[in-house]
């Protein structure tokens, strides 16, 4: 067998369609002696037998290790330039009370974007002073709750929020620490929906208005100006965007230092992870060293103190530590012609989930890697893994080589689904969201239970209890 002409250039025909590339799969993912996939010392087939499918699986030790690695990388890099680094976990990537507790145990702070995420952090025992609140359209209730709790920082995303947060702090009789989110104008190399610093954008205050916004904050007795904040996007592999954003923020930071204290600088997150063989992710040590060097050089050039620095990784910590297990259903070979008129076959492999548990391929055109839970020596065929929903765009993995004997009833694993899959899950077609299971040291436990049909009907006020229910 050879490469299928319908395959994209990034996808190479595999020598072994059962092999697990370490940088893509959870750290504990392995093949047992009989070739079965196991994670955290637990066989994937046993997990599905106990919890059903689809099933989100999280390698608990991998999450904890990645959180600790980021914390150490930034602590060490910024200590070398004479300052401290604060690492916030971007909760939007994946948040449960247990995940929040893992972050706190690793000495990470928590970046939240809603009253719900605040509530999860509180339920996990996270100190409100170690949380930061983001959002381009925070409600009055969310602002008041954050101020009432004594949240560590609120990130101001617009000029109008300055007054709104100041009034809430005044009413509460407190002084609220705030940052100003700056739209740096850096065009990150990523999907348009993941780029958050372009000019035609809902997030942040333009760079040219940053000084005026800071002066407005300083004029409010109930606000304490902590510093500037930048986030250029997500799933970024090119270092140049982070460097340029840091340089632009340092220019404004230096201007503000001349007129008052600016203790911190928040450089955001957005580092990419490896979803496929074609990706090439940063190591956190390299990111930390690069940012530390930029900040140190900029401060030396301007003869200003080196500020404390904050960063906000999310995907990097939980993305590679997760996978999703599915049961294969319908197999449908489709004969097509390539651009040269040559006939080729793409095999559609349907699974028992789809865009309700992973909308990223439909939303962003995201690519993933898939493997059968069992091994096979049968030559690979080009497949498209699709879901069960009533949408042509219901694609789980757009292009993947799987063994040619893939069949109904097989279990399929999709790698690197720890970030933004459960968070974006829906009940489309009235399908319940899957459970989330953590695995470690040969044992599994539920982090979030799955939804049943009764759960889906529980909020429907028209339901009549009677025969058949």
The verdict on whether 390 is a catalytic residue reads yes
Please, are residues 404 and 365 in contact by the beta-carbon 8 Å criterion?
A: no
Contacts 24+ apart (CB under 8 A), 361-367: 361/393, 361/395, 361/396, 361/397, 361/398, 362/391, 362/393, 362/394, 362/395, 363/193, 363/424, 364/191, 364/193, 364/194, 365/191, 365/398, 366/275, 367/10, 367/275, 367/276, 367/278, 367/397, 367/398, 367/399
Compute, in degrees rounded to 10, the torsion defined by CA atoms 342, 400, 50, 98: -150
C-alpha 231, offset from chain centre: 14
CA–chain centroid gap for 82, Å, is: 30
CA distance 200 to 451: 39
Tell me how far apart the terminal alpha carbons of the chain are, to the nearest angstrom.
52
CA–CA gap between residue 112 and residue 395 (Å, rounded):
29
Rg (CA), the chain: 24
Catalytic-role residue among 113, 299, 390, 421: 390
Report whether the peptide linkage leading into residue 54 is cis, meaning its omega lies within 30 degrees of zero: yes
Q: Would you give the DSSP letter of residue 206?
A: E
The token pair that represents 392 in the structure block: 């042509």
> What are the catalytic residues?
390
């Amino acid at each position: 067998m050879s490469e299928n002409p319908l395959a994209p250039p990034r996808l190479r025909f595999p020598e072994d369609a059962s092999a697990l590339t370490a940088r893509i799969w959870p750290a504990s993912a392995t093949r047992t002696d009989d070739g079965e996939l196991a994670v955290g010392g637990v066989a994937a087939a046993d997990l599905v037998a106990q919890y059903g499918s689809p099933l989100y699986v999280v390698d608990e030790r991998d999450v904890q290790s990645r959180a600790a690695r980021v914390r150490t990388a930034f602590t060490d890099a910024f200590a070398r330039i004479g300052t401290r680094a604060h690492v916030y976990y971007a909760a939007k990537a994946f948040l449960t009370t247990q995940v929040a507790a893992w972050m706190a145990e690793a000495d990470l702070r928590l970046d939240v974007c809603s009253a719900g995420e605040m509530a999860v952090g509180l339920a996990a025992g996270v100190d409100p002073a170690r949380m930061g609140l983001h959002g381009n359209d925070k409600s009055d209730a969310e602002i008041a709750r954050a101020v009432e709790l004594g949240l560590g920082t609120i990130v101001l995303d617009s000029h109008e929020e300055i007054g709104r947060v100041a009034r809430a702090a005044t009413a509460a009789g407190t002084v609220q620490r705030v940052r100003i989110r700056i739209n740096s104008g850096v065009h990150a190399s990523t999907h348009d929906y993941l780029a958050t610093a372009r000019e035609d954008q809902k997030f942040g205050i333009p760079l040219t208005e940053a000084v005026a916004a800071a002066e407005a904050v300083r004029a409010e007795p109930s606000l304490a100006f902590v510093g500037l904040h930048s986030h250029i996007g997500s799933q970024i592999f090119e270092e140049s965007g982070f460097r340029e954003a840091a340089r632009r923020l340092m220019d404004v930071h230096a201007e503000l230092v001349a007129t008052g204290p600016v203790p911190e600088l928040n450089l955001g997150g957005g580092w990419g992870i490896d979803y496929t063989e074609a990706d090439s992710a940063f190591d956190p040590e390299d990111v930390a060293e690069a940012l530390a060097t930029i900040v140190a050089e900029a401060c030396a050039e301007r003869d200003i103190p080196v500020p404390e620095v904050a960063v906000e990784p999310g995907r990097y910590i939980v993305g590679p530590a997760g996978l999703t297990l599915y049961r294969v259903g319908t197999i449908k070979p489709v004969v097509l012609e390539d651009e040269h008129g040559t006939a080729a076959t793409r095999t559609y492999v349907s699974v028992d989930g789809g865009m309700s548990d992973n909308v990223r391929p439909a939303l962003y055109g995201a690519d993933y890697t898939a493997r059968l839970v069992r091994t096979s020596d049968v030559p690979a065929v080009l497949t498209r893994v699709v879901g069960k929903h009533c949408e042509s765009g219901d694609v789980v993995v757009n292009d993947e080589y799987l063994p040619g004997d893939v069949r109904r009833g097989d279990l399929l694993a999709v790698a690197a689904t720890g970030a933004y899959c459960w968070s974006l899950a829906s009940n489309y077609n009235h399908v319940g969201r899957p459970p989330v299971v953590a695995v470690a040291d040969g044992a599994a436990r539920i982090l979030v239970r799955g939804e049943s049909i009764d759960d889906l009907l529980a909020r429907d006020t028209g339901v009549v209890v009677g025969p058949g229910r």
